Structure 1
Amino acid sequence: MAFRQSPIDIVPQDVCHSAEDCKADTLNIDYKQGDCCDVIVNESGFRVNVKRNCVTSLTAAHLPAKFELAQFHAHWGCNGKVGSEHFLNGKQLSGEVHFVFWNTNYESFAEAVEKDDGLAVIGVFLKEGKYNEDYHGLIDTVRKATGNNLPLQMPKNFHIEQLLPPVDKRDFVTYLGSLTTPPYNECVIWTLFTEPVEISYGQLNVLRNIIPENHRECQDRCGRTIRSSHLLDL
């Protein structure tokens, strides 16, 4: 039986404030310009690939190693009230972007997904609201790639920082979970920023034109500990 499946509902009473090892100011995504090279769109969504010699890395006090970027993608719903995979205190947001990193203590991504601590995934919640210029390059490239069988090059000036909450609003929760797509390997250390990023109805509709929704339902927490970098006020 699986005991660490994702996503889950982040309920405040299940969260432990862990000031010793969950420190927002230690979380660092060191992005090298050009590492995110192209976008591929298929029937289940989009994926941004990295180039072969990618060096973009993730480190944080709560992570056991240095992790290297493998790809990122997103999940969304058919309207603004659904779409995120994780819930915040029973509430679903409009979408969720997942930045997937693999543990460089292992030889490869393929080896890492077979290990308990093989992947670290950063989750960014999306909230339907105002137009977000920082998301324009990504969304426009996804729009152009939709219906294409070949990857489309990412804008040369793209930077991961554009897609994240502001630096001073990067408090997070973390727990041990799984991939949310088949084969659902229980290999993920999740880090979810609790501050959502707003994007517009029109921007979300570009994603809905690929597929109306592509999010997995919430799974049982199974008594797992959820730690946070701050006292939750959801």
Structure 2
Amino acid sequence: MKWIGAVLAVCVLVPSAHCASDAIPWCYHLPTCNDVTWPTIATKFCNGSRQSPIDIVSASAHIDSKLTAFTFYNFSSNTSLKKIENTGKTVKVTFNSGVKISGGDLSEVYDSLQFHLHWGNGFSVPGSEHTVNGKRYPMELHIVNIKSSYNGNTTQAVADSTGLAALGFLIEEMEGNATGQPASWFTLSSYLSSISNGGESVSVKAGISLDDLLPGVDRTKYFRYLGSLTTPSCNEAVVWTVFKETVKVSRDVINMFSKITHISNSTSPIIINNYRNLQPAQRVTTTSSTSKTCASLGLLALSLLLRT
């Protein structure tokens, strides 16, 4: 399949891909190549009909009983994180093999490739990609997964309307005056000084797991819609899952992401506001605790009947 989108998607998604020059010269910070221009410079999909990110209106989400719990493979392993990289547009962490997800009404097992982050300009200028009921959060973490049956072939995956599955976690400030918390996030942010220039990367030492980076999040509660990659070429190949509960991170750690990493060398701009603006709404479905509530009420009613 020979088209520009496939070339760039490989650059974005495959950890081993070499991307000396992007097929599409997109950016976040310049009016000549920021997201306003993407529908023009990447016309195949960036002006499509199921684009991401979107504003999720919780009251409009349709309850779907098929949205069951996920199974997360090796998310508890403290050796699953392989490398952290400054791509010049974001901070990306690639995984060792064996990290996977299934369930959640996905059609098959998906291999987890990497996570990356989107942020604004410090805590005061939020930069999540998705918003919920119009609220934009300080940061957003995306875990990118590919159908296991494709064996890492992203050209096939981006040509499949459900070839990729992205898990979106919204990040907000931890309450109180905590600093350097959670410890896993403080450790993650400590790598930023080693990848301050675009293209730099270092190995991640054993000690942090994906579970450590998602503390307190009930991963049975989420929103679901069919959308796209949020960067060119915006391939409409993504099953999106955005979790309802947020990851709580102290303000000082959030602020570090918009202070250290440069687009290219040390004289280039700092990476800030690396998020795409909202796209037209899509049909959103959601999990529900109704079944649990009904079951509890049923047991209570049975208990009362037995007592009479």
Answer yes or no: same fold by TM over 0.5.
yes
User: Does the Cα contact within 8 Å between 1:75 and 1:96 map onto a contact in 2?
Assistant: yes
One-letter code aligned to 1:187: A
User: Does the Cα contact within 8 Å between 1:170 and 1:195 map onto a contact in 2?
Assistant: no
CA distance in 2, matches of 1:64, 1:41: 32
**3-state SS of 1:195 partner:** coil
Decide which structure has the larger Cα Rg and report it.
Answer: 2
Does 2:138 correspond to 1:100?
no
**3-state SS of 1:105 partner:** helix
> 202, 208, 214: which one pairs with 1:152?
202
Residue of structure 2 in register with 1:181 after alignment: 231
CA distance in 1, matches of 2:253, 2:201: 20
* Higher fraction of strand: 1
Q: CA RMSD in A?
A: 2.0
Gaps of 5+ in 2: 1-46, 262-270, 291-308
One-letter code aligned to 1:178: S
CA distance in 1, matches of 2:189, 2:155: 29
CA distance in 2, matches of 1:230, 1:155: 38
Instruction: State the identity as a percent.
Output: 28
**3-state SS of 1:7 partner:** coil
CA distance in 2, matches of 1:97, 1:150: 20
One-letter code aligned to 1:95: M
* Higher fraction of helix: 2
Residue of structure 1 in register with 2:101 after alignment: 58
User: Does the Cα contact within 8 Å between 1:137 and 1:155 map onto a contact in 2?
Assistant: no
Deviation at 1:170, TM superposition (A): 4.2
Does 2:273 correspond to 1:229?
no
- Give a deviation string over 1:10-66, Cα, whole Å, max 9, x none: 102320111x2112xx21221254332111113212111224xx1110111311110
CA distance in 1, matches of 2:157, 2:253: 33
One-letter code aligned to 2:85: I
- Give a deviation string over 1:106-133, Cα, whole Å, max 9, x none: 2423321221011001111010234322
Residue of structure 2 in register with 1:36 after alignment: 81
Deviation at 1:138, TM superposition (A): 1.5
One-letter code aligned to 1:229: T
Q: Structure 2-normalised TM-score?
A: 0.68
CA distance in 2, matches of 1:198, 1:167: 9
* Matched pairs, number: 225
Does 2:141 correspond to 1:83?
no
Residue of structure 2 in register with 1:9 after alignment: 55
Q: Structure 1-normalised TM-score?
A: 0.88
Change (3 A) 1:123 1:168: closer
User: Does the Cα contact within 8 Å between 1:172 and 1:191 map onto a contact in 2?
Assistant: yes
Gaps of 5+ in 1: none
Deviates more, 1:100-109 or 1:67-76: 100-109
Deviation at 1:74, TM superposition (A): 0.4
Deviation at 1:104, TM superposition (A): 1.3
Deviation at 1:182, TM superposition (A): 1.1
Residue of structure 2 in register with 1:112 after alignment: 157
Residue of structure 1 in register with 2:12 after alignment: none
Residue of structure 2 in register with 1:212 after alignment: 272
CA distance in 1, matches of 2:105, 2:216: 20
